[in-house]
Amino acid sequence: MNFPLLLDPADADVRVEFGMAEAEFAQHAQWRASAAVFAAIEKTLREAAAHPEVFVHTALLSARDAVEYAQRAAAADLAVRLNLAEATVRGHGQVGSALRTRLPRLWAWFGEGEVSTQNAREAAGLVADLPEEHWAEFDAQLLNPATTLAPPRFRVRARALRDRLIRADAVERHVRALAERHVAAEFDRDGMGWLNAYLSSEQLVLIETHLGELAFRSSQDPDETRTMAQLRADLFADLLTGRLNGIGAGVTVALTIPMLTLLGESDAPATLEGVGPIDLATARELCAGVPSFTRILTDPVTDEILRLDPDQYRITKKLQRFLAQRDVTCTFPGCGRRALDCDIDHIIAREHGGPSIPGNLHHLCRKHHRMKHTSRWKVARTNDGTTTWTSPTGHIRTADPPPF
């Protein structure tokens, strides 16, 4: 006997309904998975704090910072295994900890896939500095918005609720937030990028007003063809680099450009340190008027930097430039801090006979340099130049290749 299909896949309405149901199911599954990741990371970091001997050298277990050393080493171990940035790992752990200990109801619903990852992150960030006496009320009042509102609407609702709960502490909270002011550069594609500044509102208003006035004045020039947005961007850059009044800021950058390209005989790309390949016109402009060059010998086939001319065996300025061009960034897996902002570390320590030659030197940012010496992380380099890192739990990872 043939029974009629209750849901006929030949019907477009049915296919659309199934597609929407699949998207819903997958979205909730993704939120559940995010909660599980946060929980696992938070649990591992708690274990590192409770048992630092797993990650820290025995001689340092009595040190005041032993727990912090252990958690940093554990976060790095997780980051290498998960192919995540260490800051992301620490952030996941902080979200998990804040929700588990301060917002248990929202945490439970997040674990069931009923709260979006974005809403969970926002809630965790807002409760981080909320006085303990407000946690329960914040949790109770936040649960329904967290499960029903999209992230932009939830963000507004959650921040308003937090402000109502701690209205009396507004001045103190501003002072604490002001201490977090900073500037960060983020490089984008096509030779562009973002400069992000976390500043007080009054400073932002002053900056916006000043840029607007300068841009408006410039726009009155009858020969000016730039838009107001372009004028504001150019004036912003000119102010920071000292070019607005014809005063140089004395900024130094490292640029690698093949000699034949510089002479116009090749189209091989130039490389700006920390950014990557840049167009040749910009490279030649940067080279114009420089007082001197550092000559570097490269392999004609692989372009690998072989040595400086002349050879250097001390960590002189020339050797430092050579190492910066070779490494480009911190050599710990996943770290992207510029070599110029890093320490030069001996893979085999000098006190153990390690020589100050390129094969025994590499760049480590201050955080990873300290971690190498305070935890059970180990680094080794083979004769062919391959560097490997071994985590305190035995995970082995080959160092990332230079980014460009």
Q: Which amino acid, one-letter code, is at 368?
A: H
Per residue in 86-145, pLDDT (tens digit) is 999 999 999 999 999 999 999 999 999 999 999 999 999 999 989 999 999 999 999 999
Q: How does 211-222 read in b/e, with b if 16+ C-beta sit within 10 Å? A: beebbeeeeeee
What are phi and psi for residue 365, nearest 5 degrees?
Answer: -65, 165
Looking up tokens 């992230």 gives 151
Tokens of 21: 């149901």
pLDDT score at 44: 98
Does some domain include residue 4? no
Residue 273: pLDDT band by 50, 70, 90 thresholds? low
Tokens of 384: 């062919």
Burial-class residue 323 by CB neighbours within 10 Å (0-12, 13-18, 19+): buried
pLDDT score at 199: 86
Same domain, 202 and 127: no
Same domain, 236 and 121: no
Per residue in 253-270, pLDDT (tens digit) is 566 767 676 666 777 777
Report the distance separating Cα 27 and Cα 192, nearest Å. Answer: 33
Same domain, 49 and 132: yes
Does some domain include residue 237? yes
Tokens of 195: 């400069």
Per residue in 168-220, pLDDT (tens digit) is 566 676 677 788 898 888 877 777 888 888 988 768 877 888 888 888 888 88
Same domain, 81 and 22: yes
- Pairing mode of beta strands 270-272, 255-256: antiparallel
Give me the number of domains the chain comprises.
4
pLDDT at 247 over 50: no
Same domain, 164 and 17: yes
Does some domain include residue 80? yes
pLDDT at 6 over 70: no
Cβ atoms of 195 and 183 closer than 8 Å: yes
Q: Which residues pair with 305 in a beta bridge?
A: 298
Looking up tokens 């896939």 gives 113
pLDDT score at 275: 60
Tokens of 194: 């973002």
Cβ atoms of 361 and 326 closer than 8 Å: no
Does some domain include residue 175? no
Q: Which residues pair with 380 in a beta bridge?
A: 388
Residue 42: pLDDT band by 50, 70, 90 thresholds? very high
Residue 383: pLDDT band by 50, 70, 90 thresholds? confident
pLDDT at 156 over 80: yes
Average pLDDT value for the chain: 84
pLDDT score at 313: 42
pLDDT score at 249: 46
Does some domain include residue 57? yes
Same domain, 208 and 109: no
Averaged pLDDT for residues 371-397: 92
pLDDT score at 238: 85
Same domain, 288 and 313: no
Report the distance separating Cα 102 and Cα 135, nearest Å. Answer: 6
Cβ atoms of 228 and 234 closer than 8 Å: no
pLDDT score at 252: 56
Pick the more confident residue, 381 or 299.
381
Same domain, 206 and 127: no
Pick the more confident residue, 291 or 304.
291
Pick the more confident residue, 8 or 399.
399
CA 224 remoteness from chain centre = 38
HEC profile for the chain?
CCCCCCCCCCCHHHHHHHHHHHHHHHHHHHHHHHHHHHHHHHHHHHHHHHCHHHCECHHHCCCCCHHHHHHHHHHHHHHHHHCCCHHHHHHHHHHHHHHHHHCHHHHHHHHCCCCCHHHHHHHHHHHCCCCHHHHHHHHHHHHHHHHHCCHHHHHHHHHHHHHHHCHHHHHHHHHHHHCCCEEEEEECCCCCEEEEEECCHHHHHHHHHHHHHHHHHHHCCCCCCCCHHHHHHHHHHHHHHCCCCCCCCCCCCCEECCHHHHCCCCCCCEEECCCEEECHHHHHHHHCCCCCCCCEEECCCCCCEEEECCCCCCCCHHHHHHHHHHHCECCCCCCCCEHHHCEEEECCCHHHCCCCCHHHEEEECHHHHHHHHHECCEEEECCCCCEEEECCCCCEEECCCCCC
pLDDT at 35 over 90: yes
Same domain, 286 and 394: no
Averaged pLDDT for residues 20-42: 97
Does some domain include residue 52? yes
Q: Give the other-Cβ count within 10 Å of 304's Cβ.
A: 12
Domain ranges, residue 362: 305-398
Tokens of 370: 């300290």
Does some domain include residue 250? no
Does some domain include residue 187? no
Report the distance separating Cα 37 and Cα 85, nearest Å. Answer: 14
pLDDT score at 81: 96
Same domain, 199 and 112: no
Same domain, 140 and 18: yes
Peptide bond into 310 cis (omega under 30): yes
The CATH number linked to 376 is 1.10.30
Cβ atoms of 70 and 48 closer than 8 Å: yes
Tokens of 170: 């507004």
Per residue in 299-352, pLDDT (tens digit) is 555 555 555 444 344 577 778 888 888 888 899 999 888 888 899 999 998 888
Report the distance separating Cα 187 and Cα 84, nearest Å. Answer: 18
Same domain, 23 and 166: yes
pTM of the model: 0.71
